[in-house]
Structure 1
Amino acid sequence: MDIETTVADGVLEFTLNRPAKKNALTEAMYLAMLEGFAKAEADDSIGAVLIRAKGDVFSAGNDIGDFISAVQKGHGLAAADFVRKLASFPKPLVAAVNGLAVGVGCTLLLHCDLVYASEAARFSLPFVDLGLPPEAGSSLLLPRRIGMARASAMLLLAETMDAREAKEAGLVNGVVADDELAGVAREKARRLASKPRAALMESRRLLRGDASEISARMEEEFKSFVAALRSPQTQAVFAAFLAKSKQESQ
């Protein structure tokens, strides 16, 4: 399965399990996680969610071929539903980033309460290079998290941030050795799940601020994103990307 789901010690753990494809996210993977989030929200025994990945890449972002196919078929874009759920999910979210985090693989971290990275982690937001605007509320949340100067370098120039820089900027809580990453992230998630639930969730709600502001920005981004997908320039970029991927796989 491309998404492994386990529950232990009050923590629901999603493991991206598509390492041969750099854990690029497909519609099926989004739907699997959406189903897991729905169960976790309804299950009082689950106090936190951990997102991690197998292999040496956290996530290369959306699987472009799968994403384009979903758009062409007129599907409801599970990717958009996924980021909306991240923003509205009431329980703590923890992420363990074990390598490259690209696109939505990076923006999803902005909705996590605690993020831990391996020394090999790198963070990249190449939306503009693909002819796309930001998504997942990143145009609002990233400058708040790391400052306008760093956010502009990532979102406009598509500059990559390494683990050390991410820690200094406040994008991640800590950087740990590769072989310790999963254990550290699980321990933090378990600590969250063990705390008084009502106080934890209310504290989290207050820390996150105005949910309607984040939701409104996400919807504004989504409209711009959909419009960009229809543009000849972006379609040409995607076509070139797919042609290169096909050639490399032969």
Structure 2
Amino acid sequence: MSVKVTDTEGLRRIRLDRAAKKNALDHHMYTTLSEAIETSPGVILLEADGGDFCAGNDIVDFVSLASHEGAVEDLPVFRFLKALTYAQMPIVAAVQGQAVGVGTTLLLHCDQVLMSEEARLSLPFLKLGLTPEGGSSLLLTQRIGHARAFEWLTSGRAIPASEALSTGIANRIVAREALEAEALRVASQLVALPLSALIEAKALMRQPNLVWAQIVREGEIFLARLKSPEAAAAFAAFLKKA
């Protein structure tokens, strides 16, 4: 099982469970994650097993996207992004180790993000000949400003937890051994609030239609870039090393 979903009163815990692959997301995982978010009866806590939160897209599935000819909305990854964009329930994320590509951009859709001290974010899209995805061209710029967002996206460097905190990507940093307990405590505080008021408050703070339109626009460019010589060379080099 690559995604574990467990429910307690008012809380759905969704845990990435593919530690051997650093929790890289494949088509099946995207579908399971989408269903778990779409049907959640309460607050969502997004966690991951192992030393890393998420290494991004599974490279084999990633390469296969280059042959997709239909609408971007038909792809499992875009169902997942739409579920995040239109999620009524608050989402808390607990991040350890690496969060790469979509592992970082999904955090921009979460309502509270906790990171362990050694956690680091990276957005390597341009190094792969690709462009930003997941609404990050809009959401990251809104969060940290154009100049800093542009530098993060073009450098592809690892962003330490301390910088994520200072720029407003994360709410707090905790020791690795305390991350799960602290994330559960934060989520439980939300569960204790009146659910209808919580849903309405989140809705007032979000602009899902605007974000989704940007995700689709990004996706169309992203899929075109997947067919580019630069992306093909980058993926071929990666697969040769794997």
TM-score range, shorter chain: over 0.9
Query: Residue 66 of structure 2 contacts residue 223 of structure 2 at CA under 8 Å; is this kept in 1?
Result: no
> Identity of aligned pairs, percent?
44
Q: Distance in 1 between matches of 2:15 and 2:160?
A: 22
3-state SS in 1 of match to 2:63? helix
CA drift of 1:54 comes to 0.8
3-state SS in 1 of match to 2:94? strand
Deviations for 1:192-211, whole angstroms, at most 9, x for unmatched residues? 12211221111111112x32
Tell me which residue corresponds to 1:122: 120
Gaps of 5+ in 1: 41-45, 246-250
Q: Distance in 2 between matches of 1:67 and 1:4?
A: 22
Tell me which residue corresponds to 1:43: none
- The farther-off stretch of 114-123 and 31-40 is 31-40
Q: Distance in 2 between matches of 1:70 and 1:151?
A: 26
Tell me which residue corresponds to 1:61: 56
2:190 aligned with 1:216, yes or no?
Answer: no
- Which of 228, 233, 238 does residue 231 from structure 1 map onto? 228
Tell me which residue corresponds to 1:173: 171
Q: Distance in 2 between matches of 1:67 and 1:24?
A: 10
- The farther-off stretch of 113-122 and 81-90 is 81-90
Deviations for 1:71-129, whole angstroms, at most 9, x for unmatched residues? 54768421111111100111101100011100000000000000000001000000001
Q: Distance in 2 between matches of 1:47 and 1:38?
A: 11
The one-letter amino acid of 2:22's match is K
The one-letter amino acid of 2:172's match is G
Query: Residue 14 of structure 1 contacts residue 50 of structure 1 at CA under 8 Å; is this kept in 2?
Result: yes
The one-letter amino acid of 1:123's match is L
Deviations for 1:162-209, whole angstroms, at most 9, x for unmatched residues? 01111111110000000110111111112212211221111111112x
CA drift of 1:13 comes to 0.9
Tell me which residue corresponds to 1:87: 85
The one-letter amino acid of 2:97's match is G
Residues 87 and 241 (structure 1), Cα distance of their counterparts in 2 relative to 1, 3 Å cut: same
2:31 aligned with 1:26, yes or no?
Answer: no
- The farther-off stretch of 154-163 and 117-126 is 154-163
Q: TM-score, normalised by structure 1?
A: 0.91
Tell me which residue corresponds to 1:103: 101
Q: Distance in 2 between matches of 1:69 and 1:215?
A: 23
Deviations for 1:208-243, whole angstroms, at most 9, x for unmatched residues? 2x3221111111101100110111221121111111
Deviations for 1:38-67, whole angstroms, at most 9, x for unmatched residues? 321xxxxx3211111111110100011122
Tell me which residue corresponds to 1:154: 152
CA RMSD of aligned residues (A): 1.5
Tell me which residue corresponds to 1:136: 134
Tell me which residue corresponds to 2:15: 15
Query: Residue 59 of structure 1 contacts residue 102 of structure 1 at CA under 8 Å; is this kept in 2?
Result: yes
The one-letter amino acid of 2:177's match is D
